[in-house]
Amino acid sequence: MKKYKKKYLALLDIVITEIVSQKLQVSLIKDYITKNNGDLVFYSTENHSTFQNLNILRHKIKEKIKVDGIIFYSLLQFCYSKRNNIHLMEQILDKKIELTFIRENITLKNKLQLKNKIIEIKYFPKTHNSLIYNLKKNFLKTLKK
Amino acid sequence: MYINKELKSLEKKGFIKTNLDPKTLKNFRKFKSKIKKHCSTMLKNKSFSFENFHKIPIEDIKLNNLRLSLIKSFSADNNLNETVYFSLKKLIDACVGPDIIVQKSCNLVIQRPNDINRSPFHKDAPANSNYEIVIWLPLVDCVGTMSMYMFDVENHERAKIFLRKQNSEKEIDKFCKKYGKLLNYKFGEVLIFWTNNYHYIPVNREKKTRWSLNLRFKNLFTPYGTKNLLDYYQILKTSPLTKLLNSIEKV
């Protein structure tokens, strides 16, 4: 019997692109998917107006996308807004869609796994404060050009 | 009292040689047996021994794959980080405080006799945090060049100036012999050092292979280097106050 292949949506980090190019992010994500015997069905990215509120991701979730998992380049993508986006993670997991963060090598398959990592996820933006600030500053400079 | 003496020594030199808690030694022996079993299976060698590992013909790439697969196998098992912590709890707590984070995956180094592939003369900070300690834990008895040179904090400036020059292997060896300390370690003894301490791994000129682990601990709230929470560290324990704050902070 043919083994079921998981389908993934990749959501690239637009803010970090100048350092980690989209091509490299895709390559790293594909590498993860290959190792996990899955298929990348689609990839997308936020833009200058949505990178903080993750509206493109929110829209995808509302669209009822048929994927088993969403792969992000980094957990940083959930930290560009002052508001914590943990609630959004819960919404995605409620839909039985797993979350993977390549840079941090973390996969959350359900809300229990999220709960077990919650302290680290909550402290992640605090401990990455200056990196997030500088990445955002660098990203937003392109708007001034 | 014993701990205070060790802490004073650490404060003065930036490193100490100490013992794992004897009560936890059996856990480390168990851990060693697991590695041995893993190696025996992977290498299809029933008489595998750590010290005689170099007698097994294995290419550098395969050696690295074996090393990575071992790291992966014990990274999946959080017990190792905890075992190291509980074995040195008093010292680690005194150095980094109550909110402790630990390197996500423990490093394993396999140094065969006359193998020139090794880390250069360096210190871990500032790439790693200045507020961090490293536990170097040999899995075999390490004598002579199976060990590593450590530099007292008082030799910090001297090493810094020396490393500004282009030095030959011979010059580095000579410098390290003069100013560094090369201590012998038995299995069950560990080296604890500050990330700002210079250290140098000589070519292993003994007749046995060196197997060692290294693992880093720091406080959740102290400044970070280039490595950070979740990409490099995970929380090991938090203080009652942090737990309280965490329980009332909005998600």
Between CA B95 and CA B10 the distance in angstroms is 9
**Residue contact A127–B229, C-beta within 8 A:** yes
**What is residue A145's predicted lDDT score, i.e. its pLDDT?**
57
| Pairwise CA distance, residues B209 & B112, whole Å | 4
| pLDDT at residue B164, rounded to an integer | 87
A82 band by pLDDT with thresholds 50, 70 and 90: confident
Q: Which two tokens stand for residue B5?
A: 């003496």
Distance (Å) from the alpha carbon of B99 to chain A's nearest alpha carbon? 12
Evaluate whether A90 touches A120 at the Cβ level (below 8 Å). no
Distance between CA atoms of residues A53 and A80, nearest Å: 8
pLDDT at B105: 87
- pLDDT value for B250: 61
Residues in B closer than 8 angstroms to A118, CB to CB, are 251
Q: Which residues contact B152 (CB under 8 A, 6 or more apart)?
A: B12, B13, B14, B15, B181
Residue that the structure tokens 């997308």 belong to: A44
Distance in angstroms between the alpha carbons of the first and the last residue of chain A: 56
C-beta separation of B195 from B129 below 8 A: yes
Backbone angles phi, psi at B231, to 5 degrees: -80, -25
Q: Say yes or no to pLDDT of A96 above 60.
A: yes
B156 or A2: whose pLDDT is higher? B156
CB atoms within 10 A of CB A51: 20
Give the distance, in angstroms, between the CA of residue B33 and the centroid of all CA atoms in the same chain.
Answer: 19
Inform me whether the C-beta atom of residue A131 falls under 8 Å from chain B C-beta atoms.
Answer: yes
Mean pLDDT of A42-63: 90
Residues in B whose CB is inside 8 Å of some CB of A read 104, 220, 224, 228-231, 234-235, 238, 246, 249-251
Residue among B228, B246, B250 minimizing CB distance to A119:
B246
Query: CA B166, B172, B173: angle at the middle one, nearest 5?
Result: 160
Give the list of residues 6+ apart from residue B226 with CB closer than 8 angstroms, or none: B126, B127, B128
Q: Determine the topology of domain A6-144 in CATH.
A: Rossmann fold (3.40.50)
Of A122, A105, A107, A83, the residue nearest B220 (C-alpha): A122
Q: Which residues of B touch A75 (CB under 8 A)?
A: 230
Instruction: Provide the residue type at B133 as one letter.
Output: I
pLDDT at B72: 84
CA angle B203, B116, B106 (to 5 degrees): 80
Q: How far is B183 from chain A (nearest CA, A)?
A: 36
- Pick from B230, B250, B251: which is nearest to A120 by CB? B230
- Tell whether A104 lies on the interface with B, counting CB pairs under 8 A: yes
Which of B100, B231, B242 to probe by mutation at the A interface, max A CB count within 10 Å?
B231
**According to the model, what pLDDT value does residue B226 have?**
87
Measure Cα distances from A114 to A93, A119, A129, A141, B229 in Å: 9, 9, 21, 34, 16
Q: Which of A86, A104, A118 sits opposite B231 (nearest CB)?
A: A104
Per-residue pLDDT, B177 = 96
Under the banding of pLDDT at 50, 70 and 90, the label for residue A8 is very high
Q: Do A122 and B238 touch (CB under 8 A)?
A: no
Measured CA to CA, the distance from residue B21 to residue B190 in angstroms comes to: 10
Task: Work out the number of other CB atoms within 10 angstroms of the CB of residue B3.
Answer: 12
pLDDT, tens digit only, all 251 positions of chain B: 578 899 999 999 999 999 999 999 999 999 999 899 989 998 888 889 999 999 988 888 888 888 888 888 887 766 899 999 999 999 999 999 999 999 998 999 999 999 988 888 999 999 899 999 999 999 999 999 999 999 999 999 999 999 988 888 899 999 999 999 999 999 999 999 999 999 999 999 999 999 999 999 999 999 998 899 999 999 999 999 999 988 887 65
Pick from A86, A122, A127: which is nearest to B246 by CB? A122
CA distance, residue B220 to nearest chain A CA (Å): 8
Complex ipTM more than 0.90, yes or no = no
The Cα-based distances of B145 to B64, B113, B156, B200 in angstroms read 21, 9, 22, 11
Closest CA to B33 of B48, B23, B18, B43: B48
Q: What is the pLDDT of residue B46?
A: 86
The per-residue pLDDT for range A62-76, each reduced to its tens digit, is: 887 889 999 999 999
Sequence spans of domains, chain A: 6-144
Residues 6+ apart with CB under 8 A from B240: none
| Domains defined for chain B, CATH in brackets | 2-250 (2.60.120.620)
